[in-house]
């Protein structure tokens, strides 16, 4: 809890959705930019899965297993008698590294030269393809922006007037428009509000 791992890549297993960035381990689950972006990209998919789906975390952002193995072998060669816990590969935070060792059942009392090929492969897998099962989402109103809403195909985008109901205008969050955080949602709300306001005043 409270650990941030920079430069992760998180993906929705079995889909093309993935997002990169820091991952924050909170007291209730996973958060941080990588998770927020992924939940935005895959919003419809995760909804269809009723928020029960597997994710794969690459804790180090490196996807080439051979390179990861090479890096770990480099640690074995230069620190053979050091304990696994005392050298953190890829600058992982201490607690995250300890957790990964615990998860892979590689004892804290093991030294790097006792790792062996099997142990090294286990670590490569845990660092690059660490799978978790998502079992729910944050509470309603916790979200920054919601996916879905009034379909853009039912709106005249030059005026924001409904094509279905004359003199009814839509703007902002109520529309089926959403984006990752960084100002895009606010911009969408302001821009569509401006266009709708101007059209209504005519
Ligand atoms: C915690 C958080 C962080 C965010 N961070 C970002 C960010 O970094 N970048 C970004 O781009 N976007 C961000 N957003 C999203 C952004 O704030 C929204 O997309 C944007 O404010 C939507 O504007 P809106 O006017 O359409 O809707 P809202 O801001 O939701 O305004 C709707 C208003 O209608 C009122 N209302 C609701 N029902 C009724 C009713 N029946 N009668 C009268 N009034 C009613 C509500 O009280 C509210 O004041 C964030 C949102 C949250 C919650």
Q: What is the pLDDT of residues 98-150, one digit of tens each?
A: 999 999 988 778 999 999 999 999 999 999 999 999 999 888 777 888 899 99
Assess whether the C-beta atom of 36 lies below 6 angstroms from ligand 1: no
Nearest CA to ligand 1 atom 26: 172
Query: According to the model, what pLDDT value does residue 19 have?
Result: 97
CA-141 nearest atom, ligand 1: 53
- Confirm if 45 and 12 have CB atoms less than 8 A apart: yes
Contacts of 77 (CB under 8 A, 6+ apart): none
Q: How far is the CA of 178 from the centre of ligand 1 (A)?
A: 12
Closest Cα to residue 7, out of 92, 123, 67? 92
CB of 144 closer than 6 angstroms to any ligand 1 atom: yes
Q: Which atom of ligand 1 is nearest to the CA of 183?
A: 11
CA of 173 to the centre of ligand 1 (A): 7
**What pLDDT band is residue 63 in, cutting at 50, 70 and 90?**
confident
* Separation CA 113–CA 109 (nearest Å): 12
Residue 145 CB less than 6 A away from ligand 1: yes
- The pLDDT score that the predictor gives to residue 182 is 86
What atom in ligand 1 is closest to the CA of residue 187? 11
Report the percentage of the chain scoring pLDDT > 90. 89
147, 154 Cβ separation under 8 angstroms: no
């Amino acid at each position: 809890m409270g650990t941030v791992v920079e430069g992760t890549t998180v993906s929705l297993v079995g889909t093309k959705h993935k997002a990169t960035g820091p991952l924050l381990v909170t007291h209730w689950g996973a958060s941080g930019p990588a998770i927020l972006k992924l939940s935005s990209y895959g919003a419809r998919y995760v909804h269809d899965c009723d928020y029960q789906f597997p994710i794969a975390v690459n804790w180090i952002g490196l996807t080439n297993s051979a390179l990861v193995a090479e890096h770990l072998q480099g640690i074995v060669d230069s620190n053979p008698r050091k304990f696994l816990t005392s050298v953190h590969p890829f600058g992982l935070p201490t607690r995250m590294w300890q957790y990964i060792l615990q998860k892979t059942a590689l004892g804290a009392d093991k030294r790097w030269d006792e790792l062996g090929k099997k142990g090294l492969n286990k670590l490569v897998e845990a660092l690059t393809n660490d799978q978790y099962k998502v079992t729910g989402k944050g509470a309603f109103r916790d979200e920054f922006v919601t996916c879905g809403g009034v379909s853009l195909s039912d709106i005249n985008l030059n005026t924001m007037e409904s094509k279905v109901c004359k003199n009814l205008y839509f703007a902002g969050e109520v529309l089926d428009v959403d984006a990752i955080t960084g100002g895009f949602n606010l911009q969408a709300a302001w821009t569509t509000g401006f266009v709708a306001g101007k059209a209504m005043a005519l």
